[in-house]
């Protein structure tokens, strides 16, 4: 099996690479590339994302044909894709970080700044928080409700269709932290930095049929 | 609910841990990679390396240490010490650091924080502040505490937040190494000045100090070196103690 981590200059992805390689061992081939043909021939794709919504979307656009290739992979061919952090946020129609920016539009919704309730909640939301699993998701196999995951973000994805939400976390409000829509998966938290439970989630993604 | 974090810090010099934990089953007590792994296995919420290598020719060793550690530890890794430029930050992040902590360079050249937070995101930019009390205010020191910049720490932290820092690592120089507890006054004043998380550092001698740092100092995270290094307490014991005092921690 070939899994591609999309390298589109969206900041630091070494931790994502290290964690996937740790889980994959020799059984799964992990590619780190923006090569369109390699993405097309992959069995699964991981879309990381750091920095702002705007900078990530711009970085995707800078690579000719990358967005079309991802659309074909995830929407037309319905192959498994995992978005992490801003990688998940970009599934939305629109994001409001820095300025209004169009997303990939795979899952209707928008990305807004977390309401800090007049400074009551510090932003970024940094650290370990519990996830409330509200829907069975294939990537949560063997992961208990209220497990801790590592978060670093100031913006949250608000999908229109609440049925895609597989987990939330409590910070100011119930923040969407995991989604599953058919073949599309996403986590707001960082499985690559969430210790053994995070690696378990990565394993679940790699195990998907 | 968001948990308060416990962050053990390792001082690394020429690629070796300066004050290390002494476990019998440790193959190489001076190996930062092995020490970091022990901390992360023990439940550390993050690991911090402070590179105190003095000579320029040995400065590159830290990159190798970070690279090896990031392949073994799957919790966030923060690296500080000697960071001068956006290029230094880029290199550390590429080696697998999740965050960098910037001290002197943040004072001397505001562009380093502004540019790096734009380029890599605020989430990986920690500004480290060494503060020392002078009369009724605290002043920011640079170069490992050797130079007084004369800058008022409470004004400085607001500026750093504006420049794009994602977190502040605040060390009280008056308390550092004393083991009498954090400078609670300093921590709580800084924490109420900014909307970004504050990590308290400097002066921890027992587990009650960690409790105070969070409850009274309003810190989101507590960093400690010696109490963990010398095996006085394990990270697990620290967490259980905080939990017994009603502080939310990841257990």
Task: Write the pLDDT tens digit of every residue in A156-182.
Answer: 999 999 999 999 999 999 999 999 999
**Residue B176 · residue A104 · CB < 8 Å:** no
For A120, the closest chain B residue by CA position comes to B195
B222 close to A (CB below 8 A):
no
**Residue B63 · residue B12 · CB < 8 Å:** no
pLDDT in tens, chain B (251 residues): 999 999 999 999 999 988 645 544 555 668 899 999 999 999 999 999 999 887 777 888 999 999 999 999 999 999 999 999 999 999 999 999 999 999 999 999 999 999 999 888 899 999 999 999 999 999 999 998 899 999 999 999 999 999 999 999 999 999 998 899 999 999 999 999 999 999 999 999 999 999 999 999 999 999 998 898 877 899 999 999 999 999 999 99
pLDDT digits over A7-41, tens only?
Answer: 998 778 999 999 999 999 989 999 999 999 999 99
Question: Quick one: which of A109, A108, A96 has its CA closest to A155?
Answer: A96
Q: What is the DSSP string of B45-66?
A: S-EEEEE---SGGGTTHHHHHH
Count other Cβ atoms within 10 Å, centred on residue B64.
Answer: 12
pLDDT band at residue A100 under the 50/70/90 scheme: very high
B39 close to A (CB below 8 A):
no
**Residue B125 · residue B165 · CB < 8 Å:** yes
B218 close to A (CB below 8 A):
no
Q: Please name the residues in contact with B162: beta carbons below 8 A apart, sequence gap of 6 or more.
A: none
In the predicted model, what is the mean pLDDT of chain A? 96
Tell me A189's DSSP state: S
Measured between CA atoms, how close is A77 to chain B, in angstroms? 32
**Residue A49 · residue A95 · CB < 8 Å:** no
Cα distances from B170 to residues B33, B203, B217, B220, in angstroms, run 25, 11, 11, 11
CATH class of A2-207: alpha beta
B78 close to A (CB below 8 A):
no
- pLDDT of B19 reads 63
Residues in B touching A193 (Cβ below 8 Å): 74-76, 98
Among residues of chain A, what percentage have pLDDT more than 70? 100
**More confident call, A208 vs B22:** A208
**A12 to B93: CB separation less than 8 angstroms, yes or no:** yes
Residues in A touching B98 (Cβ below 8 Å): 12, 15, 193
Region A176-198: what's the mean pLDDT? 98
Residues in B touching A52 (Cβ below 8 Å): 121
pLDDT digits over A57-67, tens only?
Answer: 999 999 999 99
Rounded to an integer, what distance in angstroms lies between the CA atom of residue B124 and that of residue B126? 6
**B1 to A170: CB separation less than 8 angstroms, yes or no:** yes
**B195 to A123: CB separation less than 8 angstroms, yes or no:** yes
A58 close to B (CB below 8 A):
no
């Amino acid at each position: 099996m070939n899994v591609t981590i999309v390298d589109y200059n969206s900041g630091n992805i070494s931790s994502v690479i290290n964690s996937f390689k740790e889980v994959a061992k020799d059984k799964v081939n992990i590619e780190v590339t923006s090569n369109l043909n390699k993405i097309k021939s992959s069995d699964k794709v991981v879309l990381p994302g750091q920095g702002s919504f705007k900078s990530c979307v711009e970085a995707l656009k800078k690579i000719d044909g990358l967005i079309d290739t991802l659309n074909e992979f995830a929407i037309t061919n319905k192959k498994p894709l995992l978005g992490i952090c801003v990688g998940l946020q970009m599934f939305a129609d629109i994001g409001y970080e820095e300025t209004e920016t169009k997303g990939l539009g795979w899952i209707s919704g928008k990305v807004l700044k977390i309401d800090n309730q007049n400074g009551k909640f510090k932003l970024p939301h940094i650290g370990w928080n519990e996830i409330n699993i509200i829907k069975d998701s294939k990537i949560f196999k063997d992961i208990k409700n209220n497990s801790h995951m590592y978060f670093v973000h100031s913006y949250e994805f608000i999908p229109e269709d609440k049925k895609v939400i597989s987990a939330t976390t409590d910070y100011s409000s119930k923040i969407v932290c995991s989604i599953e829509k058919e073949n599309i998966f996403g986590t707001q938290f960082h499985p690559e930095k969430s210790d053994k439970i995070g690696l378990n989630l990565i394993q679940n993604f790699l195990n998907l049929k | 609910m968001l948990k308060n974090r416990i962050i053990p810090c390792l001082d690394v010099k020429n690629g070796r841990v300066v004050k290390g934990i002494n476990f019998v089953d440790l193959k190489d007590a001076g190996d930062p990679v092995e020490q970091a792994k022990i901390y992360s296995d023990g439940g550390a919420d993050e690991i911090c390396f402070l590179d105190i290598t003095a000579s320029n020719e040995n400065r590159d060793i830290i990159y190798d240490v970070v690279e090896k550690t990031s392949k073994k530890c799957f919790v966030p890794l923060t690296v500080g010490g000697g960071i001068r430029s956006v290029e230094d930050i880029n290199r550390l992040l590429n080696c697998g650091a999740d965050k960098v902590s910037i001290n002197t360079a943040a004072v001397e050249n505001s562009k380093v924080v502004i540019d790096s937070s734009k380029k890599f995101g605020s989430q990986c930019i920690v500004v480290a502040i060494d503060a020392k009390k002078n009369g009724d205010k605290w002043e920011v020191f640079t170069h490992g505490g050797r130079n007084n910049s004369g800058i008022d720490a409470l004004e400085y932290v607001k500026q750093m937040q504006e420049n794009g820092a994602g977190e502040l690592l605040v060390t009280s120089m008056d308390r550092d190494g004393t083991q009498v507890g954090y400078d609670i006054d300093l921590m709580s004043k800084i924490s109420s000045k900014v909307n970004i998380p504050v990590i308290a550092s400097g002066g921890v001698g027992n587990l009650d100090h960690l409790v105070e740092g969070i409850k009274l100092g309003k810190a989101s995270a507590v960093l400690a070196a010696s109490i963990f290094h010398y095996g006085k307490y394990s990270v697990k014991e620290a967490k259980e103690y905080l939990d017994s005092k009603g502080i939310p921690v990841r257990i």
